[in-house]
């Protein structure tokens, strides 16, 4: 026997369930008067630097049906590639951009809409630049542990081609599942939980 490493185990995850809105977006589900706003519902103000974009995201189940009870959080760098986080040591991020947003999928259409800015490039561990990307975290009824993925941009072909994380994906036919399609000022991104077009999810 060796000494104990004396570590705790992470609390196991459980599904967010169908009523996740009560806790995380109460105003969206009609519980008014407790919080002024739903946290994460607005990412921009008049002073935010960067190119304004809209993300239209859907999450589709194994039959291709959009989830109408999912909730997505996004985390991204500002226009200069800096994160608004105490663990960002490279410099101060845009004070007018939190970098974090939270939206439920629409209960009728299943579309989840974010108004944000296009992020700048952030260095990988070895100093190479990653392509502009947004980290997504998806929870819903039927999802036992939050799913992590990334959204990359269809009009960043050159940067995408040299991105160290995209390069990590062995089955190259799966890379396009992480690339949102530009349509006007919006990027459209369908996340497939299962099947032929299953989105790449990460363990990181």
Partner 1 sequence: MAERGSNHSPETGAFFQRDRQWHPAAFTPNYKSSVLRSPQRALVAFDNTLSELTGPVFGHAMLGELDNDLIHNFARPGESALGERIIVHGRVLDERGKGVPGVLLEFWQANAGGRYRHKKDAYLAPLDPNFGGCGRTITGEDGSYAFRTVRPGPYPWPNGPNDWRPAHIHFSVFGHGFAQRLITQMYFEGDPLIWRCPIVGGISNREAVEALIAALDMQSTIPMDALAYKFDIVLRGRRSTLFENRPEGN
Least separation in angstroms between residue 147's CB and partner 1 is 7
Nearer to partner 1, 160 or 199 (CB): 199
Nearer to partner 1, 62 or 185 (CB): 62
Q: Which of 51, 148, 137, 152 is nearest to 94 (CA)?
A: 51
Nearer to partner 1, 53 or 193 (CB): 193
Q: Is 181 exposed, middle or buried (0-12, 13-18, 19+ CB in 10 A)?
A: middle
Element (DSSP H or E) covering residue 21: helix 20-24
Nearer to partner 1, 30 or 184 (CB): 30
Least separation in angstroms between residue 184's CB and partner 1 is 27
Nearer to partner 1, 2 or 6 (CB): 6
Q: Is 137 exposed, middle or buried (0-12, 13-18, 19+ CB in 10 A)?
A: middle
Q: Cα torsion at 40, 45, 48, 53 (round to 10°)?
A: 70
Spell out the residues 6+ positions from residue 31 whose beta carbon is closer than 8 angstroms to its own: 22
Least separation in angstroms between residue 180's CB and partner 1 is 16
Least separation in angstroms between residue 67's CB and partner 1 is 7
Q: Determine the Cα–Cα distance for residues 7 and 173; give it in Å rounded to an integer.
A: 40
Least separation in angstroms between residue 5's CB and partner 1 is 10
């Amino acid at each position: 026997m060796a000494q104990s490493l004396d570590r705790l185990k992470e609390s196991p995850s459980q599904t967010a369930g169908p009523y996740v809105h009560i806790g995380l977006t109460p105003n969206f589900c009609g519980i008014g008067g407790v919080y002024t706003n739903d946290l994460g519902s607005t990412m921009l103000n008049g002073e935010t630097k960067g190119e304004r974009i809209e993300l239209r995201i859907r999450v589709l189940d194994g039959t291709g049906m959009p989830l109408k009870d999912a909730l997505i959080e996004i985390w991204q760098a500002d226009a200069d590639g800096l994160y608004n986080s105490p663990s960002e040591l490279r410099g101060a991020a845009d004070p007018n951009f939190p970098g974090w947003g939270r939206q439920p999928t629409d209960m009728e259409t299943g579309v989840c809409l974010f108004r944000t800015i296009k992020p700048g490039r952030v260095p990988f561990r070895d100093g190479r630049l990653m392509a502009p990307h947004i980290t997504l975290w998806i929870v819903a009824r039927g999802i036992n542990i939050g799913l992590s993925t990334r959204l990359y941009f269809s009009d960043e072909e050159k940067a995408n081609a040299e991105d160290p994380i995209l390069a990590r994906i062995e089955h190259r036919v799966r890379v396009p599942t992480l690339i949102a399609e530009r349509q006007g000022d919006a990027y459209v991104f369908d996340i497939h939980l299962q099947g032929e077009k299953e989105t790449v999810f990460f363990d990181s």
